[in-house]
Chain A
Amino acid sequence: GNSVTQMEGPVTLSEEAFLTINCTYTATGYPSLFWYVQYPGEGLQLLLKATKADDKGSNKGFEATYRKETTSFHLEKGSVQVSDSAVYFCALSSSGGSYIPTFGRGTSLIVHP
């Protein structure tokens, strides 16, 4: 079956540091890949997505590239801000017919001033 593995947190960084949150997956077919973000006290919201190999999703300074050869979709940001403190979820939806996503466990990011 499908699965998503993310690095465990919390990830603690100083403001303006470089961020990487690792995500690898196993899936049948050709999945679409997503990063969601959950700010404190809120639901999840879509941050970015990529639907085919070598696609790069980007939003709000965050980027992730769909790497089929390494089955990875790592999230990166060049300079984090305190306001980026949140929990980040990697997810996939298989194009094999199921529309039910598989989520990673989430990675908490804490950014200090």
Chain B
Amino acid sequence: DVKVTQSSRYLVKRTGEKVFLECVQDMDHENMFWYRQDPGLGLRLIYFSYDVKMKEKGDIPEGYSVSREKKERFSLILESASTNQTSMYLCASSGGRGSYEQYFGPGTRLTVT
């Protein structure tokens, strides 16, 4: 079974802190994704990566950056956390082209105070 793990289930940070959310997948998937999930807004794509060191902006990249130094690891960085970034963050991965289903991690619930 594919396994996607995220570094924390719950995280509390202060406004202005730099925050790192880590995601690791164990199925050698090319594609990895970061979403945020908010009530009434569904899933919104922040960034995705289709290869090591490659990244593309999603629908809401402002205030975020990402890093993919190794194929199995995709990190989301909040350079200076703000209260409007309080949310559930979900990481996902998928295989090569032609394999479109996504595998999700358990999520990180981030609270910025």
Give the segment of A15-23, A74-82, A97-105 that binds chain B: A97-105
Query: In which size bucket is the chain A interface?
Result: 20 to 34
Partner of A100, one of B48, B99, B105: B48
Taking the complex as formed, is B75 at the interface, i.e. its CB lies under 8 A from any CB of chain A? no
Give A36 to B94 CA distance when docked, in angstroms: 14
Q: A93 to chain B: which residues have CB within 8 Å? A: 100-101
> How far apart are A66's CB and chain B's nearest CB, in angstroms?
14
Determine the chain B residues whose CB is within 8 A of the CB of A34 once the complex forms.
Answer: 100-101
Per-residue B-contact encoding for A55-83, CB less than 8 Å = 1, 0 else: 00000000000000000000000000000
Q: How far is the CB of B22 from chain A (nearest CB, A)?
A: 15
**Contact of A32 with B106 at beta-carbon distance under 8 Å, contacts A100-B48, A103-B42, A104-B42 already known:** no
A16–B19 alpha-carbon span in the complex (Å): 45
A106-B42 contact, Cβ under 8 Å, with A44-B90, A45-B104: yes
How far, in whole Å, are A36 and B23 apart by their CA atoms in the complex? 20
B interface residues, Cβ below 8 angstroms from A: 4, 31, 33, 40-43, 45, 48, 50, 58, 90, 92, 94, 97, 99-107
| Beyond known contacts A44-B104, A97-B97: 17 more, CB 8 A cutoff | A36-B102, A36-B104, A42-B106, A42-B107, A43-B92, A44-B92, A45-B104, A89-B43, A93-B100, A99-B31, A99-B50, A99-B94, A99-B97, A100-B45, A100-B58, A103-B42, A103-B43
